[in-house]
Amino acid sequence: MTESLRVTVEEIRLQRFRAFENARLVLSDLTFLVGRNGAGKSSLLDAVDLLRESVSDSLENALDRRGGLQKVQRAKPGRGKKTPMGIAVVFRIVFPGDRQARVVYGFEVQDKKTGGSSHIRECFMYSKGTSFERKDQTFDSERKPDVSPPAGNLVLPLVARSDSLWESVLNTIRNMRAYELSPGHMASATEIGERSTLTRDGANAGDVLKAIEGTAAHRWMVERLGIITDGINDVRAEALMGRRVVRFFQKSETVELNFDASQVSQGTLRSLGVLLALKQSPLPSVVLVDEIENSVHPSALAVLLDAALASSDDTRVVLTSHSPEVLSHPAVTGERVRVVEWRNGNSRIFSLSPETQASVNDIDTVGWMLRSNALWTGPNPETFAGDIFALDNEKR
């Protein structure tokens, strides 16, 4: 990312994506997504992955991995005009001298009635200039770079180098990471790779760990693992017959033991995955972790939540959960909670009502309210007005 610019993700917008017709997820430094099974929390993670894959590989390949556009586009009854499927992200840009502005970038895609490549509309909207709009093979920008948008692919990766703001936004999207960590895959000792970025299931944890060994981030992670699992004083990645083995070192009063990843608990492995997600290099712009409480003891959850809160100074952190233990942590303030609900075939995102936010305290925690069925949301879901690319709330 260009050093003179600071880019922060403010919100994610979805249009006809899976069960979401019109929704926006407004991010805090640390955001907690709460909702019943099937409400749409995992779809939010997949939307982030789809956008990242689309600018890193191609839109066509990203959709094909999910079975094509029809598998991710929300079905809409009736014969009227249907809006396309779209994903957009709103960014806060801080320039040298602390001058600030907002940007929205994203795409819409819709199948052609006559077959062939899909219709693509792609926009980079910035109220102070350097914006562009692409419609299929037509590209319009005040900078006028010489580019012909490719069918089935996005244009931002092709033009980003012609403008530092475009390049910064592209790099920020490529660093958005969503996780559904699998202890089984983390313990499998995968073949040694060159990637230092943690995969969605955490299977390459050894490669990511190797990339940060000996750094302050590694020491930070080991300290927290030692609190989560008593006696752990180191964790390292070793090479064995072309595979990367994660090895834990545990000290007792009389002896120091070591175990490979297949010999430790799922909770320890998931904790390692969460900590690696937060401290991998380069740091992600956004980290989303699905169901952080899975396999983790309540006492260890507090360590992971403290780690997430500390990391939110450098990266946006989004945690999904339906655990009262998680939601009773002091970091879970009313302003940081978003509720995802599925009603009548439509997933929607709500903030807590102002009254509920004001009543959150040390005793009446969000977790207690969840247990008591008193987690009241505001009357209206979070949506964007009109066009998915509109900067309709510049005053925010």
Q: How far apart are CA 320 and CA 35, in angstroms?
A: 8
The DSSP line for 88-142 is EEEEEEE-TTS-EEEEEEEEEEE--TT-SSPEEEEEEEETTS--EEEETTEEEES
Give percent of the chain with pLDDT exceeding 70.
96
pLDDT band at 275 (very low <50, low <70, confident <90, very high): very high
370: three-class secondary structure by DSSP: helix
What pLDDT sits at residue 393? 52
* Spatial CB neighbours of 27, under 8 Å, sequence gap ≥ 6: 9, 10, 11, 12, 286, 316, 318
* pLDDT tens string 329-386: 999 999 999 999 998 889 999 999 999 999 999 889 999 999 999 999 999 999 999 8
Q: In the chain, how long is the greatest CA-to-CA distance?
A: 75
User: Residue 127: what pLDDT?
Assistant: 80
DSSP code per residue over 173-200:
HHTEEEE---HHHHTS-PBP-S--SPPT
Q: Render pLDDT for 282-318 as a digit per residue (tens, 0 to 9).
A: 999 999 999 999 999 998 999 999 999 999 999 999 9
Q: What is the pLDDT of residue 316?
A: 98
Tens of pLDDT, residue by residue over 234-256, are: 999 999 999 999 999 998 878 88
Alpha-helical runs (H) found in the chain: 41-56, 59-64, 69-72, 156-159, 164-174, 183-186, 205-212, 216-228, 266-279, 298-311, 324-327, 354-359, 366-371
Q: What is the pLDDT of residues 59-80, one digit of tens each?
A: 999 999 999 999 999 877 655 5
Residue 382, SS3? coil
CB-side neighbour CA atoms (13 Å) of 229? 23
Residue 176: what pLDDT?
98
Residue 128: the pLDDT is 78
What pLDDT, on the 0 to 100 scale, is given for residue 82? 76
pLDDT band at 114 (very low <50, low <70, confident <90, very high): low
Residue 195's Cβ-count burial label (10 Å; 0-12, 13-18, 19+) is exposed
CB atoms within 10 A of CB 277: 26
Q: No. of H helices and E strands in the chain?
A: 13, 16
SS3 assignment, position 293 = coil
Q: Which residue do the tokens 């699905």 mark?
A: 290
Least confident of 57-66, 121-130, 319-328: 121-130
CA-CA distances (angstroms) from residue 315 to 2, 334, 374?
A: 16, 20, 31
The rounded mean pLDDT for the chain is 92
Pick the closest to residue 226 from 271, 188, 293, 278 (CA basis): 271
DSSP 263: G
**Between 177 and 115, the higher pLDDT residue:** 177
- Report the distance separating Cα 379 and Cα 159, nearest Å: 42
pLDDT in the model for residue 77: 63
